[in-house]
Amino acid sequence: MRALKRIIRGLVPRPLLFGYHYVLNWVSMALAGFPTRSLITIGVTGTNGKTSVVSYISDLLESAGFRTGYVSTATIKVGSVKRLNQLKMTMPGRWTLARMLRYIKKSGARYAIIETSSQGLEMGRHLGISYDIAVFTNLTPEHVEAHGSFENYRAAKEKLFKALSKGKRKKDVKKIIVANIDDANARYFLQYDADQKWGYSLGVDQAALPGMVVRPVEYACGPKGISFTLKDQQGQTAHIQSSLIGIFNLNNMLAAATVAMSQGISLDKIKVALEKLEGVPGRMEPIDEGQDYSVIVDYAVVPESLELVYKTLREQLGPNKKLIAVLGSAGGGRDVAKRPKLGALAARYAYRAAVTNEDPYDEEPMNIIKQVARGLEQAGKIKGRDYVTLLNRKTAIAWALKQAGSGDIVVITGKGCEPVIIAANGKRIPHDDRTVAREFLQEQLQRARLKANQEPVQQQS
């Protein structure tokens, strides 16, 4: 079915295809009563960190007394109810998204936060949405095959900012752009008109951006969390200690804090909310069943995010402890060039690795696995000793967990909290990395207990 859709898209002229999406998106939002016209609507786009930033923005706004709703790759929040996104779509199809936004409005929310993907923008799913705040996290090559080039990929992201700048102003609501100015592509997104432009940064001087910049006075990222001192526009400071780990989470917190500051939320309230933040499902999520080694599940699917995950976890390892990786790559013609790069990163950072199935779509899964494994081979790793290739993802996870010793870390990437594997002809195979890992760990610990109970007790003389 996906292959047929790609063929049809290739045959239909782009203006006609866009016109089709244009009409359907506007009609769906109209039938839903244009819900975002009475909400302050925040769009978050970029390559990495979008899902976490959406969740963190919601938490900060809620902590300040505002009701929110959001739609992200991992979770959907309406009212006080959060549920996993079962659709395997960052930005759902037009009818579904319009219906979700209508529910968010009916829940009494003041803010709607939408993880806004390049493919969703390319298909016009932002049409009919009245954006007030646009957030740019970062940009690295992803979906390049789908868009034709990195420049086209960036241009698709820019559609969010174009929509923001051209959209009608709501009463007493400013149009605001928030951008990670440490990213060289920030200038493309900051060129659009807005009432306010805010930047956040770990190192760029405030003079680099006309407007307001939020950055930590000092920061430290360690295995037990992140500590940093934040300064607001009035010069007030607050020291923040978070249990989240990794430099990427510091960036995500800065993005959320900048949005909060743009909404007039005090630094004291921001501090309280940041220190309470918990991880997002499937994003550096620990799986703990009482085992003496760590298991982490993360969504990382592009080389840049995978390397950040590996580096962060390696920094947590004690002397002579090992990182063991489970990884793969999606099919459907998605970013084929990245596959050996993912394998090369596993070769660089992991002691052992299992290369396995992810979401093959209509591609032959073993071909994808071999392309990822090529990166390990080219780095000099030996199959059977340093890595294995296993088609069954459950088997691969079990293999990795069996390799772990006390103090080691097993990291399972590529799926996060996704509940299915998408195979040929759109077949959805139920699978959750977190559930698989938990079940194996429980069995492993149960076997250990049984063995301990069966061992004879030595009598003392």
* Separation between Cα atoms, residue 196 and residue 174, nearest integer Å: 7
- Can you give the pTM of this predicted structure? 0.89
Residues 263 and 291 in one domain: no
As a whole number of Å, the end-to-end CA separation of the chain is: 74
Upper half-sphere CA count for residue 401 (Cβ side, 13 Å): 28
What sign results for the dihedral spanned by CA atoms 136, 140, 144, 148?
positive
Residues 111 and 169 in one domain: yes
Please say which residue of 226, 253, 276 terminates a domain.
276
Strand 420-422 and strand 133-136: the pairing is: unpaired
- Evaluate whether residue 461 is within a structural domain: no
The backbone torsions φ and ψ at residue 49, rounded to the nearest 5 degrees and listed phi first, read 90, -5
Domain interval for residue 35:
10-276
Does residue 282 contact residue 395 with C-beta atoms inside 8 Å?
no
Residues 231 and 303 in one domain: no
The pLDDT value recorded for residue 212 is 85
The pLDDT value recorded for residue 280 is 93
* Separation between Cα atoms, residue 295 and residue 18, nearest integer Å: 44
DSSP bridge pairs for 241: 227
Residues 300 and 219 in one domain: no
The pLDDT value recorded for residue 40 is 98
Please say which residue of 217, 250, 276 terminates a domain.
276
- Evaluate whether residue 231 is within a structural domain: yes
- Evaluate whether residue 30 is within a structural domain: yes
- Evaluate whether residue 454 is within a structural domain: no
- Evaluate whether residue 37 is within a structural domain: yes
- The residue with tokens 């592509």 is 185
Task: Give the number of domains in the chain.
Answer: 2
Residues 312 and 231 in one domain: no
The pLDDT value recorded for residue 461 is 41
User: What's 186's domain CATH number?
Assistant: 3.40.1190.10
Give the burial class of 65: count Cβ atoms within 10 A of its Cβ; 0-12 exposed, 13-18 middle, 19 or more buried: exposed
* Separation between Cα atoms, residue 227 and residue 220, nearest integer Å: 5
Residues 66 and 210 in one domain: yes
* Residue spans of alpha helices (H) in 71-135: 94-106, 118-122
Residues 272 and 302 in one domain: no
Residues 318 and 426 in one domain: yes
Residues 337 and 235 in one domain: no
* Separation between Cα atoms, residue 112 and residue 458, nearest integer Å: 65
Is 209 in a helix, a strand, or coil?
A: coil
User: What's 336's domain CATH number?
Assistant: 3.90.190.20
DSSP bridge pairs for 178: 135, 198
- Evaluate whether residue 441 is within a structural domain: yes
Residues 105 and 181 in one domain: yes
- Evaluate whether residue 2 is within a structural domain: no
- Give the list of residues 6+ apart from residue 37 with CB closer than 8 angstroms, or none: 130, 170
Please say which residue of 248, 276, 304 terminates a domain.
276
Mean pLDDT for back-to-back runs of 10 residues, the chain (461 residues): 50 61 82 94 95 97 97 94 88 87 96 94 89 95 67 92 94 96 94 95 65 88 92 90 94 97 96 95 94 96 94 94 97 86 98 97 96 98 98 98 97 96 93 97 91 66 41
DSSP bridge pairs for 239: 229
Residues 316 and 349 in one domain: yes
- And the tokens for 336? 């084929």
- Give the list of residues 6+ apart from residue 111 with CB closer than 8 angstroms, or none: 39, 40, 41, 42, 58, 61, 66, 67, 68, 69
- And the tokens for 3? 């292959």
- 172 — alpha (psi -120 to 50), left (phi > 0) or beta? left
- Give the list of residues 6+ apart from residue 263 with CB closer than 8 angstroms, or none: 61, 64, 66
Residues 193 and 333 in one domain: no
- Evaluate whether residue 5 is within a structural domain: no
